[in-house]
Structure 1
Amino acid sequence: MNTINQLSIDQLNDDEKNIIEQVLKGFESKRQGLTTSYVSAMYAMEHQFDGEILNISMPVTPIVYNSLGMMHGGITATAIDTAMGVLANKISPPDKAAVTNQLNLHYTAPIHTGSIQAFAKVIHHGSKSMVIEGWVETAEGKRAAHATGSFFIIDRK
């Protein structure tokens, strides 16, 4: 018997129920075409673009916590890489796509609750590569991470 079949909603605590609800809402968001990836959907990422800076907002919920009860560094990296990647793809020609080649990330403060904003801004845009700067801020406006990334521009398949 599959272990998922052995679990009952009644056995879950409130955090676990909220995580399941967030994941299911993410699947529905992806099905409706409101997000382009399951990663963005699962973490409830929403983005805005003003023509220069791309901004992704994301709630800080127990699904992103590490064993210390703060946002996992890998999830922070995912948020910042997603912001930079979405920006790179938004400004690429329609027949091209951008993929991360290198990510250099510095963590500057822990993230505990609320929400985060991941920002991305182009530093260099060439015909074969881009360099993008990104940063993450807490709900209080404190910078929690700073990154630069390089992106290859490839043919879209």
Structure 2
Amino acid sequence: MKNELEQLLKEYMDKATETDLRAMAHVLKGMKNKIEGKSTTYIGGILHYEKNPDESVWELTVPINPALYNSLGIVHGGITATLADSAMGTLANTLVPEGYGAVTSQLNIHYLAPGIGDTLRCRAEIAHQGRNTMVVSAEVFRKDGKKAAQATGSFFIVEKKVSSGE
């Protein structure tokens, strides 16, 4: 696997534009963050989440980089949805009892403006907290303050199972 990856990286480096290199550096730094324990998930590492937790509100900020672009050169809608889902899910998971987790059962997102600029910041807060479900709302803002998306998510509260895999 290591030789195959080295070959792939060499081929990439030989053909990459400056934009390609910026995108790859972003992804590799994120993977390094995961390996070093600075991020608990690969997606969190790749997106370079900066967390700003509060008791009832959770904020995540991500730097915008070409690795996150769609074919129009703006942040891909799936990245915006992932940011909202991650902020809402992280908040939900901070509120469940020990031994339980919150998993997304429904995600609704309304895109309001293109994801452009230096960063996207998502602010999530609880709309409803029950024994078996939660509803969380989120807003995603560009660095210029313009709201890029509005989202809601429903979450099931489930008992964590002991994993035998990685």
TM-score, length-scaled by structure 2: 0.89
Q: After the TM superposition, which segments of 4 or more aligned residues of structure 1 sit over 3 Å from their partners?
A: none
1:86 aligns with 2:63: no
Take 1:80 and 1:113, find their aligned partners in 2: how far apart are those partners? 18
Give the partner amino acid of 1:145. Answer: A
Q: Identify which range, 5-14 or 35-44, moves more after superposition.
A: 5-14
Contact conserved, 2:27 with 2:67, CA < 8 A, in 1? no
CA drift at 1:114: 0.8
CA drift at 1:9: 1.9
Contact conserved, 1:61 with 1:113, CA < 8 A, in 2? no
Superposed CA RMSD:
1.6
1:133 aligns with 2:119: no
Gapped regions of structure 1 (runs ≥ 5): none
* Partner in structure 2 of residue 63 of structure 1: 67
TM-score, length-scaled by structure 1: 0.94
- Partner deviation per Cα, 1:65-103 (whole Å, 9 max, x = no partner): 111111111111011001001111111112100000001
1:106 aligns with 2:101: no
1:138-153 to 2 correspondences below 5 Å? 138-153=142-157
Q: Secondary structure at the match of 2:27?
A: helix
Gapped regions of structure 2 (runs ≥ 5): 162-166
Give the partner amino acid of 1:93. Answer: P
Identity %, equivalent residues: 39
Q: Secondary structure at the match of 2:102?
A: strand
Q: What is the aligned residue count?
A: 157
CA gap of 1:8–1:39, structure 2 versus 1, over 3 A, is: closer
1:95 aligns with 2:94: no
1:33-52 to 2 correspondences below 5 Å? 33-52=37-56
